[in-house]
Structure 1
């Protein structure tokens, strides 16, 4: 390391450390609102229309709120369903199909199309991919009845 590359350090370290005696506590901070938590609580209750929720769902990548009112799946405890969401976008390009017929589940080999896609039938239910509108992380799917099914989310107490 050459002498010119060395960073200069302050000669008086007292100048770089703030002292509590210099802070004026008589003025309120510009960005502090002691009632903000109560205001946020009222806003959420208004959005929910006084109905309960099993959790508040957030994106696992950027922590953006995705849903304020949802219902937990009875069997799969990490999955949720909801009708009203925020900050979600539906990817119409990626459509998934689920075959719900009993005969198809028993005969896993057979009657599918050779290109890997399922032939549409009365027993198939289609889903569209749902992503976070902020970071585009896949967080779930939406069905034909416009019910969101979340499986890749962070739940928090509601």
Structure 2
């Protein structure tokens, strides 16, 4: 080992921390202390004063899909909504399971899941696939009553 190797610092040891170069006397360029308040006003305006159980996002690209929805009573990971954003309805119909359940059960179908298990009450009901408009991930179905049923989404508290 030579004398200069142990005592002389390498280039990586001579660099200083990025924190040492930051001038904290000026305000950050992209900071807005009122941004949270502005966001809250925007969401209340979009919801027209009504409450929502969650804000729904695409599980693949995190794009907002719904600001106002209702959580399913039995299937806690499923939601229904009428007003959505960044969703596209595919022409492809979702296959439904035929069932011998009564017609009165069909009226209560919103209390059933829409994940393909015991979700669909009759075979003549038409459901269309709903996908994220940004990344085309399937996020739910659209029924004949023009209600969106989401089962593949990320909910966040509203």
TM range (shorter): 0.7 to 0.9
Is the CA contact 1:98–1:126 (under 8 Å) kept in the aligned structure 2?
no
Compute the TM-score of the two structures, normalised by the length of structure 1. 0.73
Partner in structure 2 of residue 35 of structure 1: 34
Give aligned pairs, total. 131
1:25–1:16 Cα change, 3 Å: closer
Deviation for aligned residue 1:33 = 1.2
1:150–1:12 Cα change, 3 Å: closer
Tell me, which stretches of 5 or more residues in structure 2 are unaligned?
1-9, 103-121
Deviation for aligned residue 1:47 = 0.5
Is the CA contact 1:57–1:153 (under 8 Å) kept in the aligned structure 2?
yes
Separation of aligned partners in 1, 2:54 and 2:12:
52
- Deviating above 6 A after TM superposition, structure 1's stretches of 4 or more consecutive aligned residues are none
Separation of aligned partners in 1, 2:128 and 2:15:
59
Deviation for aligned residue 1:98 = 5.2
1:129 aligns with 2:129: yes
* SS state at 2:45 partner: helix
Compute the TM-score of the two structures, normalised by the length of structure 2. 0.73
Alignment of 1:49-60 (within 5 A): 49-60=48-59
The structure with more strand, counted as a fraction of residues: 1
Deviation for aligned residue 1:74 = 1.4
1:12–1:99 Cα change, 3 Å: closer
Partner in structure 1 of residue 140 of structure 2: 140
Separation of aligned partners in 2, 1:101 and 1:12:
73
Deviation for aligned residue 1:16 = 5.2
1:19–1:147 Cα change, 3 Å: closer
RMSD: 2.3
Partner in structure 2 of residue 72 of structure 1: 71
Is the CA contact 2:58–2:65 (under 8 Å) kept in the aligned structure 1?
yes
Is the CA contact 2:128–2:141 (under 8 Å) kept in the aligned structure 1?
yes
1:99–1:12 Cα change, 3 Å: closer
Is the CA contact 2:96–2:123 (under 8 Å) kept in the aligned structure 1?
no
Tell me, which stretches of 5 or more residues in structure 1 are unaligned?
1-9, 104-121
Is the CA contact 1:52–1:69 (under 8 Å) kept in the aligned structure 2?
yes
The structure with more helix, counted as a fraction of residues: 2
